[in-house]
Amino acid sequence: MAVPMTDVSVTLGRQTVTGSVDANCHVDEHATTTNTRAYFVVMYPWFGQRVAPDKPQWGFTLEIRRGKGAEASDQFVFSFLDGQRSGTIQTVSGSERMGSGTVRVTRHGHGARFDVEGTYEGGDVVRATIDCSAFQKSEGAGG
């Protein structure tokens, strides 16, 4: 069985990293507008995974809360780390706000494209495009 790959491009300040990676892309149907679970979750590497030396040695996480009347809300967390640079945008109410930004979700086929634009808490501009070719089944705790 072929693993669905995720095309990623992240620009932090003046530097850009790109790759096609085995990311964990899933939709959590247990997420509601009133609980704290993320509806869309995209993570590379997978939780607990050790990345092979020939694969990209950077990582990111994007979690988007469920919106009222829509799949996605404007409440999300995006973080990126490449060993030298890191940053976080967090717009989730009830949590410490870090940076500022927007995320757009465009569904296609069995997956979706996520476009993040904003400013990290340190002031660097960030742009990220994450294109999940397909969502995997969620194996998360609680459900």
d(Cα 32, Cα 57) in Å, to the nearest integer?
A: 33
pLDDT at 117: 97
Q: How far apart are CA 58 and CA 36, in angstroms?
A: 27
* Domain boundaries, given as residue ranges, for the chain: 6-132
Q: What is the pLDDT of residues 41-53, one digit of tens each?
A: 999 998 778 888 8
pTM for the structure as a whole: 0.90
For the chain, the distance separating the N- and C-terminal CA atoms, rounded to the nearest angstrom, is 24
